[in-house]
């Protein structure tokens, strides 16, 4: 088994043999982890606001439109991209349609992988266990994919990926063989170098953007480690054209 990290979705290759963990810690994979822990009926992801509106019009049950552009909910949306707000919401049995600037695009790029899980600090222990179990059972590698920011390297995602690699290594039995790719070793180095996770998140471009719109309390919330035992997983059965929509389940 090889464990590696792609710091942007553009680095990803040869998905057929990889169990993927998508990381968009500020904030999409954190928000979606919270959302799925609230037991909605269905969550549909899409990459654009226009597709979200179209999908909403096609649902037999009135959905909640959720997500953001530049950190804020688009006009007419019910919720934005705040994991803290979703934690306080009653979403049981609701249908949600979710789109974000970076996270949903990264997930869409991985639809050909055998398994795609969503990871963050909130579900770190749970997501690495699911990924490791899936990879070991099928003889696959594990790839952590950072959503990045505007298709570029994002320090917050790289740091979170490094923390998940560390958890993966701890999960693997001493008798099990594995190797670390260059990306995984670099992510571990970033994780080991920065000791103050709150300061790192605040210094990152995504953290600064969240603070600028007055939602810095989200950063405190999403930094909680192993707070939620829930692992969203990508499914595609409802949509013949993945670019138009795709669902997550737990």
DSSP 16: G
Question: Domain coordinates of the chain in residue numbers?
Answer: 2-249
Mean of the per-residue pLDDT values of the chain = 94
Torsion of CA 142, 87, 55, 63, to 10 degrees: 150
Q: What would the pLDDT profile of 28-87 be if each residue is shown by its tens digit?
A: 999 999 999 999 999 999 999 999 999 999 988 899 999 999 899 999 999 999 999 999
Residue with token string 């398994």: 115
CA neighbor of 131 nearest in space, from 121, 143, 147, 145: 143
**Which letter, b or e, does each residue of 223-248 get, where b requires 16 or more Cβ atoms within 10 Å of its Cβ?**
beeebbebbbbbeeeebeebeebbbb
Give long-range contacts, CB 8 A cutoff, 24+ apart: 211-218: 212/71, 213/71, 213/72, 215/71, 215/82, 215/84, 217/84, 218/26, 218/27, 218/82, 218/83, 218/84
Residues of the chain where predicted confidence (pLDDT) is lower than 50: none
How big is the chain, counted in residues? 250
CA neighbor of 181 nearest in space, from 145, 231, 151, 149: 145
How many angstroms separate the CA atoms of 49 and 84, rounded? 22
CATH topology of domain 2-249: putative 2-phosphosulfolactate phosphatase (3.90.1560)
Assign 117 to helix, strand or coil. Answer: strand
Residue with token string 């989200």: 218
């Amino acid at each position: 088994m090889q464990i590696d990290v792609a710091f942007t979705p553009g680095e990803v290759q040869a998905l057929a043999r990889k169990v993927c963990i998508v990381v968009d810690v500020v904030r999409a994979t954190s928000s979606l982890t919270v959302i799925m822990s609230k037991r909605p009926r269905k969550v549909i992801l899409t990459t654009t606001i226009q597709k979200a509106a179209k999908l909403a019009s096609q649902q037999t049950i009135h959905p909640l439109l959720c997500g953001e552009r530049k950190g804020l909910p688009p006009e007419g949306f019910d919720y934005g991209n705040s994991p803290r707000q979703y934690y306080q919401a009653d979403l049981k049995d609701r249908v949600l349609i979710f789109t974000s600037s970076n996270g949903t695009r990264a997930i869409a790029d991985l639809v050909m992988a055998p398994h795609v899980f969503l990871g963050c600090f909130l579900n770190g222990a749970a997501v690495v266990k699911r990924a490791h179990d899936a990879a070991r059972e099928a003889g696959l590698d594990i790839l952590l994919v950072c959503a990045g920011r505007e298709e570029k390297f994002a320090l917050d995602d790289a740091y979170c990926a490094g923390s998940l690699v560390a958890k993966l290594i701890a999960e693997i039995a001493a008798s099990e063989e594995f190797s670390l790719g260059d990306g995984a070793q670099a992510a571990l180095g970033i994780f080991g170098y920065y000791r103050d996770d709150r300061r790192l998140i605040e210094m990152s471009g995504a953290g600064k953007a969240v603070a600028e719109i007055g939602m810095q309390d989200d950063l405190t919330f999403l930094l909680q480690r192993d707070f939620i035992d829930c692992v969203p997983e990508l499914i595609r059965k409802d949509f013949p054209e993945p670019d138009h929509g795709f669902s997550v389940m737990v």
